[in-house]
Amino acid sequence: MCGIFAYAGKNNAAPILIEGLKRLEYRGYDSWGVAVQENNAIHVVKEVGKISKIDSLNQLPHAKIGIAHTRWATHGGITQTNAHPHYSSDNSFVLAQNGIVQNYEPLKEMLQKKGYKFISETDTEVIVRLVEEKLLGISSLRLAVRAAVKELEGRNTVILLSNKGEIIAARNGSPLVAGRTASDDLIVSSDTLSFAPIAQKMLVIDNGQIVQIHDKEMHIFDITSDKELKYNWEDINLRNDKVDKEEFDHFLIKEIHETPKALEQIVRQDKKSYLALAHALKAARTVYTIGSGTAGVAAAQIAYYLREFAKINAISLVGADALEYVELFSKEDVIIAPSQSGETADVLEVLEFAHKKGLKIASYVNMPGAMMTRMSDFKFMAEAGPEVSVVSTKIFTSQITWGYLVAKTVSDGFDEGITHINSLIEAMKRYLKNQSNINLVKNLAEKLINVDDIFLLGKGQNFYIVKEGMVKLIECTYKHAHAMPAGDLKHYAITLMQPGVQILVAFSDDSSMSDVINAVNEVKTRGAEVTAIGSKSSKNFNSFIKVPEVKELNSVMNVIPLQLLAYYIGIQLGNEVDKPRNIAKSVTVK
């Protein structure tokens, strides 16, 4: 899930490439590289680690064209040699990839037999050598890339820079968008957000297309037919595209505080689009919801709302494991995909199957121009503004609140749903503004800082909420956290309950409350300590984090202290919470 950024224009390329890369760093941050072309030569700088050693950029000449890459390693260790871009043997071009070449082993073997030498351990270098091989019989770089790309298996998007000052990019699975500035400079990137501050226009490059930039002109070709395609630039429509921590120490805490603003966007959306989706859901045989990571938890909560409020047979799937359901899909089914990036490879693969089988697809995506939106019959945009922290917070809450409104619409309760969401927004604003609420969470964070294991219990509307708490704790604190249905605890995890064990419970004052209290008493009897999050205290808890009462949306309110808790433990531990180790935000590889 690397980030790709290319520039061709009138200005010095290197600083623009670096700025673009910084905005793509959420996609991977183990190493990076920049290549520029000047005087028929390509100059490359590559570094391991975050994009900080900008000094090395002084080694690059003033050039008007270049490409850059930030890596999340899949094949080959995190080394300078394995960082992209990679040179061709004669230094006539460099190449970077976002994705995985699934058949890199047989290709590498074939190329080695032909005498090609490999310097790095990456699958990406196979593409470099394959393009070289194709260039033996094809004189145009674009056609050689086309021939090479046709032999690759997997999802991969590649970008090349030639010593003649040409950029070629081919999209196959992983995202690619083009941008144009007011003065007609051209950009090619993995996402629109990366060039939003400098570009006015955007163009989504579709799968199976090749971009060629030469002499300040951009041409697009279909890979299969090699026909040149006409294109129309679109205006960039990115709300709140400022990427700035403002008065906050981290993007993560800023984005938690932006949640009410993100929810306001849901209320503003057109009722007609909700009614159209509700109509399709009512007619559906089964509704599948799908997501990966945090969005997978959101998908599960959305399925919960569809069962609870709309009485729909809704099943949630986790992206990486959903293929086993594909055979069961029928064209009477609908599939719903909440996603920040709209580019998650695991989910896209399942949606492609669903599309072929004739299912209707609904998506709720934050990033404009994403593949998921393009393949959807019902396209919803979160419009929650950029979420820069790799740890997703405001988008999760936006996704589940949207799912709630969809479920309410199915049961003819759209207006009531809007009223509840408005109350939630006001309550959340009040909660976040009140420093004593924040201090309570900070105190709990201090208590949990030395604990190795944290258990989280929830039931009904709160089960996936505690699961979200678990995901956040794991991402921010690197501690072991384990969320489970409160009622299931007694069947296995009760063996682990003993003095000193810390339990977090999220609850709502509803029919699930008595079962939750039973679980609380069961763990307390064995010496565990329980901190509860909810709107109503009970003498059964050891400590209590109070949130405002917001009825049907109580559990959404409970998300906020759980996210805050993960943040405060993470920073007290000195962890880099905006970029937790080993993960990246937009997982465009399988």
Residues that bind ligand GLU (CB under 6 A): 1-2, 28, 71-76, 97-100, 122-124, 589
585 part of the active site? yes
With contact defined as beta carbons under 8 Å apart, do 183 and 10 qualify? yes
Nearest approach, Cβ of 460 to ligand GLU (angstroms)?
38
Evaluated on CA atoms 415, 417, 420, 424, the torsion sign reads negative
- Residue for token digits 């999220």? 506
Evaluated on CA atoms 186, 101, 321, 31, the torsion sign reads negative
Q: Given the complex with ligand GLU, which of 124 and 172 has the nearer CB atom?
A: 124
Nearest approach, Cβ of 175 to ligand GLU (angstroms)?
11
Q: Given the complex with ligand GLU, which of 207 and 397 has the nearer CB atom?
A: 207
Q: Which of 2, 254, 394, 579 is catalytic?
A: 2
Taking the CA atoms of residue 482, residue 487, residue 489 and residue 494 in that order, the dihedral angle to the nearest 10 degrees is 140
With contact defined as beta carbons under 8 Å apart, do 255 and 305 qualify? no
For residue 257, give Cα distances in angstroms to 171, 263, 310: 36, 11, 30
Q: Given the complex with ligand GLU, which of 24 and 365 has the nearer CB atom?
A: 24
For residue 495, give Cα distances in angstroms to 242, 481, 532: 49, 16, 21
Nearest approach, Cβ of 447 to ligand GLU (angstroms)?
38
Q: Given the complex with ligand GLU, which of 345 and 382 has the nearer CB atom?
A: 345
Q: Given the complex with ligand GLU, which of 31 and 554 has the nearer CB atom?
A: 31
Nearest approach, Cβ of 51 to ligand GLU (angstroms)?
16
Question: Omega into 260 within 30° of 0, i.e. cis?
Answer: no
Q: Are strands 287-291 and 334-339 parallel, antiparallel or unpaired?
A: parallel
Nearest approach, Cβ of 392 to ligand GLU (angstroms)?
18
Classify each residue of 157-180 as buried b or exposed e, where b means 16 or more C-beta atoms within 10 Å of its C-beta. Answer: bbbbbbbebbbbbbbbbbbbbbbb
Nearest approach, Cβ of 69 to ligand GLU (angstroms)?
9
Q: Estimate to the nearest angstrom the gap between the alpha carbon of 215 and the chain centroid.
A: 35
CA distance linking residue 154 with residue 210, whole number of Å = 17
For residue 352, give Cα distances in angstroms to 84, 171, 266, 335, 372: 29, 16, 27, 11, 10
Q: Given the complex with ligand GLU, which of 84 and 379 has the nearer CB atom?
A: 84
Q: Given the complex with ligand GLU, which of 127 and 147 has the nearer CB atom?
A: 127
CA distance linking residue 179 with residue 194, whole number of Å = 10
**Strands across the sheet containing 167-171:** 86-87, 93-99, 156-162, 167-171, 209-214, 217-222, 228-229
Nearest approach, Cβ of 161 to ligand GLU (angstroms)?
17
Q: Which residues pair with 333 in a beta bridge?
A: none
With contact defined as beta carbons under 8 Å apart, do 487 and 517 qualify? no
Nearest approach, Cβ of 85 to ligand GLU (angstroms)?
11
Q: Given the complex with ligand GLU, which of 73 and 494 has the nearer CB atom?
A: 73
Q: Which of 22, 408, 579, 585 is catalytic?
A: 585
476 part of the active site? no
Q: Estimate to the nearest angstrom the gap between the alpha carbon of 530 and the chain centroid.
A: 33
Which residues are known catalytic residues? 2, 585
